A = this chain, B = another copy of it.
Amino acid sequence: MKELPDSAFNPLLKLDNQLCFSVYALSRLITKAYQPLLESLDVTYPQYLVLLLLWEHEELTVKQLGEKLLLDSGTLTPLLKRMEQRQWLSRRRDARDERSVVVALAPAGRVLQQQAHEIPVQLAEKMQLTMPEIEALRTQLRQLITLLA
C-alpha cells in the first residue's frame, strides 16, 4: 500500500484547517490595519490599547493594566517607559503601597484622544462587518478568552 502524507490521515495537522492559525494570522492583520491610522499619532497598537484604558480610567496601576490587557510587567514596563518619555503618561509609586506603580494620563495623552475618535469607525469600515456581526463574533471570542485565561 502506498504511503500517504500524514496530513491525509490526520487532517487536523493541515494548516488550512487550524482555527488557531486563523486567530494568529488575523491578529497580525488587524494590527497592520490599525497601523496607517495609528502612525499619524506615532503610536503602536499595544500603546494604543494602554491609551484606550487611560482615556477611560484616568489612572491605573501597572497591575491593573496587566490584568485588563493580559500582559505582564516584562512587557508593560519598557512600553510604559517609552510612553512616559513622550509625555503621554506619568509613572509614580503609590504612596499607600510602595510596591504599586500608578500610571496616569498626562495632558499630551489627552490631546491624542481627540485625534483618535475616528479610529474605531474607520477600522469597522475596513472589516466590512455590521454591528450585529461584530457583536456575535466578539462574544464567541470572549468565551474562548475566559476559557483560556
Contact = CB atoms under 8 A, between A and B. Distances in A.
A130 interface: no
A26 interface: yes
Contacts of A7: 55-56
A41 interface: no
A30 B18 CA distance: 12
Interface string A10-25: 1011110111111111
Chain A residues touching B, range: 35 or more
A140 B22 CA distance: 10
A1 interface: no
A142 interface: yes
Interface string A130-149: 00001001101110110111
